[in-house]
């Protein structure tokens, strides 16, 4: 079981010319290319053709807008999650001067005051901070939709939490901004990604709090048997066909192989979710999330679990969906226990699927 993520292309063979701006005007991508003269990522046509066939069927007309954003990296936006353990008023002022504003409203059903995230309508990326031993970073850059599974989980102080597929660590960091868990296990089966996870946590979390965190490299499918009914909350950010990354594979053979493997992912996801449920205490909840639009990896997985597990019930997250609908483009007509974020112009967050279940 390995998280199927692509690395950035090694060779970039042509520039993207996708439009992010008003129709009839030069695109933002074109303007930046003109000013910077830098080559951009190349779309893998094999993957795009595959997505085109599937998502036109599943999303209909909405796919054309999603495709435009996904294939235009210069349209992408990045949120800035502040680190409460390394607070900087200067940083907050700098963000405001650059046009950033707070992402979430106080009307959310769950919003700890210590969770601070800022966004800008303008595509682009705030400068990243380098890892420095002994010094905590002040902020973490992420896709704003990545915070939705954490908000859906509604973590409280003292709870025992499992982040089953935790690398690279953004959601673990977000959880620790929300509450002080009694214990947090951050698990990542892939050894390389596990080292990445460890470095991320050490860059953001003070040493005393690290004592409440256990890092492990276990097969998530076995965790329910290893730790039955131990955790109050489980986050399963499942291995998936990462739509953004897969579109920019530089190796056609590798891309073709991944598309074949994609058919097997839903079976893996069901196994992981069954294991997560086993690891839950009665009354505990699990949030399942992916960064793909694929119905087979999203709602079909949840439906399979609900239809086959008598001790699992769906949890209504429609209030969360309603409140965030101004900042995120959501698919209409989904079940109350789920939401799906679609990337859109000016709201280039996602893809992100979130569903919540409770163990009885």
**What are the structure tokens assigned to 62, written together?**
């909405």
Q: DSSP code of 311?
A: T
- Return d(Cα 357, Cα 257) in angstroms, integer: 32
Element (H, E) at 303: helix 299-308
291 is catalytic: yes
Contacts with 275 (C-beta within 8 Å, 6 or more apart), sequence order: 164, 220, 221, 222, 223, 224, 225
Catalytic residue among 44, 75, 291, 309: 291
- Pair type for strands 280-290 and 231-237: parallel
Q: Reduce the secondary structure of 333-350 to three states and give it as a string.
A: CCCCCEEEEECECCECCC
Show contacts of 47-55: CB within 8 Å, 24+ apart: 47/246, 47/247, 47/249, 47/255, 47/258, 47/259, 48/247, 50/259, 51/243, 51/247, 54/294, 55/293
**What are the structure tokens assigned to 192, written together?**
């390389």
Active-site positions read 291
């Amino acid at each position: 079981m390995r998280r199927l993520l692509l690395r950035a292309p090694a060779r970039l063979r042509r520039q993207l010319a996708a439009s992010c701006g008003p129709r009839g005007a030069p695109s933002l991508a074109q303007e930046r290319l003109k000013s910077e003269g830098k080559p951009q990522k190349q779309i893998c046509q094999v993957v795009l053709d595959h997505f085109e066939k599937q998502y036109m069927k599943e999303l209909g007309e909405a796919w054309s807008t999603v495709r435009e954003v996904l294939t235009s990296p210069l349209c992408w936006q990045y949120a800035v999650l502040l680190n409460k353990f390394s607070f900087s008023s200067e940083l907050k002022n700098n963000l405001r001067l650059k046009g950033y504003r707070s992402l979430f409203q106080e009307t959310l059903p769950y919003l700890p005051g210590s969770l601070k995230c800022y966004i800008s309508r303008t595509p682009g990326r705030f400068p990243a901070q380098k890892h420095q031993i002994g010094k905590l970073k002040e902020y973490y850059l992420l896709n704003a939709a990545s915070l939705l599974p954490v908000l859906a989980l509604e973590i409280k102080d003292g709870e025992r939490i499992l982040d089953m597929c935790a690398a690279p660590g953004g959601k673990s960091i977000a959880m620790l901004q929300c509450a002080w868990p009694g214990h947090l296990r951050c698990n990542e089966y892939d050894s390389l990604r596990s080292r990445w996870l460890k470095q991320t946590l050490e860059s953001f979390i003070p040493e005393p709090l690290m004592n409440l965190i256990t890092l492990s490299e276990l097969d998530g499918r076995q965790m329910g048997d290893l730790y039955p009914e131990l955790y109050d909350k489980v986050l399963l950010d499942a291995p998936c066909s990462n739509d953004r990354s897969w579109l920019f594979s530089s190796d056609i053979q590798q891309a073709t192989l991944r598309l074949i493997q994609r058919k097997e992912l839903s079976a893996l996801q069901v196994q992981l979710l069954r294991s997560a449920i086993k690891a839950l205490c009665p009354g505990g909840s699990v949030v399942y999330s992916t960064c793909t639009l694929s119905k087979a990896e999203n709602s079909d997985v949840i439906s399979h679990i609900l239809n086959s597990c008598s001790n699992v019930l769906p949890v209504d997250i429609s209030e969360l969906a309603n409140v965030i609908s101004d900042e995120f483009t959501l698919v209409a007509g989904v079940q109350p226990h789920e939401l799906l974020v679609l990337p859109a112009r000016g709201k280039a967050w996602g893809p992100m699927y979130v569903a919540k279940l409770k163990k009885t």
